[in-house]
Amino acid sequence: MSEFSLESPTEDAVDAPAAEGGRAAPAQPYLVLARKYRPTSFGDLIGQDAMVQTLANAISKDRIAHAFLMTGVRGVGKTSTARLIAKALNCIGPDGKGGPTIDPCGQCEPCRAIGEGRFIDVVEMDAASNTGVDDVREIIDASRYAAVSARYKIYIIDEVHMLSKNAFNALLKTLEEPPAHVKFIMATTEVGKVPVTVLSRTQRFDLKRIPAERLAQHFGEIAAKEGAEIEPDALKLIAGAAEGSVRDGLSLLDQAIAHGSGAITAEAVRGMLGLSDRNRTRDLLARILEGDSKGALGELNAQYTLGVGPDMALEALLETVHSITRMQVGADVDLVTSADGKQKLAEWADQLSASVLHRFWQLLLKGLEEVKRGTMALQTAEMAILRLIHAAQMPDPGALLKALDGAAASSAQAAPAEAPAATAAPTALASPAQAHPAPPRQPVFQGLPKSYDQLLDFFVKAEPKVEAWLHDQVACVGFSETELVLSGRAHDERVRELREEVRREFGVDLSVRFEDVAGAATVQEQKEARAAAERQSVLDDPAVRRVMDIFPAAQLIEYDLTGTEDADGAGVSAHSTQRNAL
């Protein structure tokens, strides 16, 4: 029987008696579904419509590339597609007069020989076991000779990424300019390991994962041909476990048919795959949300007794949290969830906030990583569950801050009319020099600057070094049109530069002298004192204090006093973070 045949062996072929001796012919060996239903035409390929359309147009317009590269995950039809291309290019039709076609007849000698793997002009090489230069050199030498009985000599190199670097280099020139009668078709699951020099010389096709809905339909058709009764939910489970691979799904279907003896239920498939029951997973999540530590650990251990691994239990919880999040944003959930399950997920989607779901997701991911990495899987999973319960009982920081802001606003509105007198409280923390803020700086002066701040503004452009000295190192204790009195460390060079600039710009001989004044603060020290007083006023706000009481390890990162109406905190927006937080 052809390896690619889509039809099952006929009863006549299996049970027909021998022509001589009256003895029954030996039964043919069983062929697994993945080989039995391998595509024999492009119409049998599922989920690869774009590639089939491209090849059909190329063949019909005689624009056939000299080299193809098929890439994709396991089991999506890379090698099968390569053999179909070989058939399409070498088909001669039932009458022997046909040309290349996207619909090979399957009856001519090239089609039948390629399907049976005995066509001399179609050479398959497994690059995983033939990785060296010598193996490639054989292909290069043989490619010089014309095809024996076909239109094209075709080389199919499977798992091409396994070739060595030297083997790739040896193949490059022939791959770029092969003889007209030679076509190369390569297949790989790891296209990232194929050198760019090879990729640039091929026509690349990325075979897609097959959608679960299409896989379930395909498996149902095959199960019907096999005479097996299978529940729709069982088909969905198998399609989901296949992860887009037809071959993986057919292997699972083969196993399910054997497991169920012809009648396949979703429960049997779930047990065969070792999946945690979804109802029990939802029960476990319900106990976690209720804070029932004993019940949650009991449910986890009950699933473990039934054969569900701790990592599988956490993965099932992750899947449930993901489904809730998808339902919360209005997306569809997976195919397997029942109507009752969807109703429960919808309830949780309404009750839980997005921040809680994201927190659960991160904690479960961390727990799953610990389970897989550690040596005590069950105990690690239990601790992850307890950590999740603790997180479920904690208040949402965002909602808490909103509630505290609302409470602060209410208390501000209820304050007595004389409350504005308290506005002086935050500024009381500042130094006396800050009681009256300096007038705004003016960039342009008419005559000698009238204030110390204006003098600093002048020196920002005139002599930045003098401005930096006046700003950071000395304090002004007196200023007039003829005299500047400073307190702090004298600097003869800076004093000379200051007087020369004032004399040159304003024609004034400014006198500079120094006095030791206790408590005199530089402009920089005044700014730092104001910032500290402002920060302290935020920390003294009642709403902020309540947050700090609830989260003792919290720190004030930033605050915004824009729109602040009073000093007791109304209108203050503070942001905090908590170390070791969830």
Is the pLDDT reported for residue 122 higher than 70?
yes
pLDDT given at position 369: 93
DSSP 51-83: HHHHHHHHHHTT---SEEEEE-STTSSHHHHHH
DSSP reduced 3-state for 249: helix
Please report where in the chains the tokens 């640039």 appear, as a residue: 200
406 or 497, which is more confident?
497
Is the pLDDT reported for residue 109 higher than 50?
yes
pLDDT given at position 98: 87
pLDDT given at position 418: 45
Instruction: Write out the two tokens for 87.
Output: 């058939």
DSSP 195-248: -HHHHTTSEEEEPPPPPHHHHHHHHHHHHHHTT-EE-HHHHHHHHHHHTT-HHH
Phi, psi of 471 (to 5 degrees): -80, -40
pLDDT given at position 363: 92
Asked whether this chain's domains 32-206 and 440-582 adopt the same fold, the reply is no
The CA R_g of the chain, rounded to the nearest whole Å, is 40
Please report where in the chains the tokens 């919808």 appear, as a residue: 346
Is the pLDDT reported for residue 227 higher than 80?
yes
Residue type, 295: G
| Average pLDDT score over residue span 432-437 | 42
CB 8 within 8 A of CB 36: yes
Fold of 32-206: Rossmann fold (3.40.50)
pTM of the model: 0.56
| Average pLDDT score over residue span 26-55 | 85
CB 209 within 8 A of CB 71: no
pLDDT given at position 480: 82
Flag the least confident range among 22-36, 66-80, 246-260: 22-36
Q: How many CB atoms lie within 10 A of CB 258?
A: 12
For residue 398, the Cα-to-chain-centroid distance in whole angstroms is 25
Q: Which residues have a Cβ under 8 Å from the Cβ of 201 and sit 6 or more positions away?
A: 67, 172, 175, 176
pLDDT given at position 11: 39
pLDDT given at position 366: 92
Is the pLDDT reported for residue 565 higher than 50?
no
DSSP reduced 3-state for 369: helix
184 or 16, which is more confident?
184
Is the pLDDT reported for residue 502 higher than 90?
no
CATH node for 278-393: 1.20.272.10
| Average pLDDT score over residue span 155-169 | 92
Residue type, 185: I
Instruction: Write out the two tokens for 483.
Output: 């005299």
The DSSP call for residue 323 is: H
pLDDT given at position 250: 92
CATH node for 212-273: 1.10.8.60
| Average pLDDT score over residue span 491-511 | 85
pLDDT given at position 23: 54
For residue 57, the Cα-to-chain-centroid distance in whole angstroms is 36
**Most trustworthy range by pLDDT among 213-227, 264-278, 412-426:** 213-227
| Average pLDDT score over residue span 221-250 | 88
Average pLDDT, the chain: 80
CB 423 within 8 A of CB 537: no
Q: What share of the chain is helix, strand, coil (3-state, %, to 5)?
A: 55, 10, 35
| Average pLDDT score over residue span 374-384 | 91
Q: Which residues have a Cβ under 8 Å from the Cβ of 437 and sit 6 or more positions away?
A: none
Say yes or no: domain 440-582 is CATH 3.30.300: yes
pLDDT digits (tens, 9 = 90+) for 444-484: 445 678 888 888 888 888 888 888 888 888 889 888 878 88
User: What are the CA-CA distances from residue 281 to residues 277, 298, 359, 478 (Å)?
Assistant: 6, 13, 18, 77
Is the pLDDT reported for residue 553 higher than 90?
no
Q: Are β-strands 203-206 and 554-560 bridged in parallel, bridged antiparallel, or unpaired?
A: unpaired
DSSP 129-140: T--SHHHHHHHH
- What percentage of the chain carries pLDDT values higher than 70? 81
Is the pLDDT reported for residue 184 higher than 90?
yes
Instruction: Write out the two tokens for 29.
Output: 């060996």
pLDDT given at position 69: 94
| Average pLDDT score over residue span 501-530 | 85
Query: How sure is the predictor about 424, in pLDDT bands with cuts at 50, 70 and 90?
Result: very low
CB 445 within 8 A of CB 434: no
pLDDT digits (tens, 9 = 90+) for 394-411: 766 666 666 666 666 665
pLDDT given at position 429: 35
pLDDT given at position 421: 41
564 or 293, which is more confident?
293
Q: How many CB atoms lie within 10 A of CB 489?
A: 9
Query: Which candidate, 252, 250, 255, 246, places its Cα nearest to that of 74?
Result: 246
Instruction: Write out the two tokens for 194.
Output: 């194929």
| Average pLDDT score over residue span 70-78 | 89
Q: Is residue 87 packed enough to be buried (19+ CB in 10 Å), middle (13-18) or exposed (0-12)?
A: buried
Give domain limits for the chain: 32-206, 212-273, 278-393, 440-582
User: What are the CA-CA distances from residue 141 to residues 133, 137, 153, 165, 172 (Å)?
Assistant: 12, 6, 13, 19, 14
Is the pLDDT reported for residue 3 higher than 80?
no
Please report where in the chains the tokens 């989920």 appear, as a residue: 47
pLDDT given at position 335: 59
Query: How sure is the predictor about 422, in pLDDT bands with cuts at 50, 70 and 90?
Result: very low
pLDDT given at position 370: 92
